[in-house]
């Protein structure tokens, strides 16, 4: 199997790419992870990276609150700031981080060329939910096995 090189760009919109080419003159903003892996492992690495970005973005309570606000539908940036009780600059910073993590989608406001409308992108949240379901299934299985063990070893 030929080694592959996974390159994850640090820019918000860049996606992980797999290359088998020399890496001369890469920018400082590129982080390299050399892996010898199957396609399945490469896909898992990308999924893990996506989950890491999602968890990092949702680690902040303000960003989680924004996600809660957007569950009811798309909102203007100014409305989000008002509902949060924060300045527009502060909410804008959080919205940029959510956008960089792929959790929200941003579109120009059709009524105001300077405004932005934010909407949840469900694919990242569905991926997070699927991962949490796997973790829950694992622990349910472990707890069920423990229950059977306790019941079998319990004195009657």
Q: How crowded is the C-beta side of 49, counted as CA atoms within 13 Å?
A: 20
Vertex 81 angle, CA 75 and 85, to 5° = 135
Q: Quickly tell me which residue has 């792929």 as its tokens.
A: 102
pTM to 2 decimals?
A: 0.59
- What distance in Å separates the CA atoms of residue 52 and residue 58, rounded to the nearest whole number? 10
Q: What is the DSSP letter of 10?
A: S
pLDDT tens by residue, 105-125: 999 988 888 889 999 998 888
Average pLDDT over residues 123-144: 84
Residues whose CB falls within 8 Å of the CB of residue 88, separated by 6 or more in sequence, listed in order: 77, 78, 81
Kindly indicate the confidence band of residue 14, based on its pLDDT and cuts at 50, 70 and 90.
very low
CB of 8 closer than 8 Å to CB of 14? yes
Statement: residue 8 has pLDDT above 50 = no
What does the pLDDT read at residue 45? 54
pLDDT tens by residue, 30-74: 444 444 456 555 555 556 667 788 888 889 999 999 999 999 999
Say if strands 30-35 and 4-9 run parallel, antiparallel, or are unpaired: antiparallel
- Give all domains of the chain, ordered by start, each with its CATH number: 55-156 (1.10.10.10)
């Amino acid at each position: 199997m030929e080694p592959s090189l996974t390159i994850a760009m640090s820019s918000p919109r860049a996606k992980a790419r797999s290359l088998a080419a020399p890496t001369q003159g890469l920018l400082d903003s590129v982080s390299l992870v050399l892996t010898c892996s199957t396609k399945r492992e490469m896909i898992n690495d990308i999924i893990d990276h996506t989950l890491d970005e999602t968890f990092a973005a949702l680690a902040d309570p303000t960003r989680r609150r924004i996600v809660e606000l957007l569950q009811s539908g798309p909102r203007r940036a100014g409305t989000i700031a008002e509902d949060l009780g924060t300045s527009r600059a502060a909410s804008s910073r959080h919205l940029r981080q959510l956008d960089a993590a792929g959790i929200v989608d941003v579109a120009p406001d059709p009524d105001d060329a300077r405004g932005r409308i934010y909407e949840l992108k469900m694919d990242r949240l569905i991926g997070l939910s699927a991962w949490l379901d796997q973790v829950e299934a694992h622990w349910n299985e472990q707890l069920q096995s423990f229950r059977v063990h306790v019941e079998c070893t319990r004195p009657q």
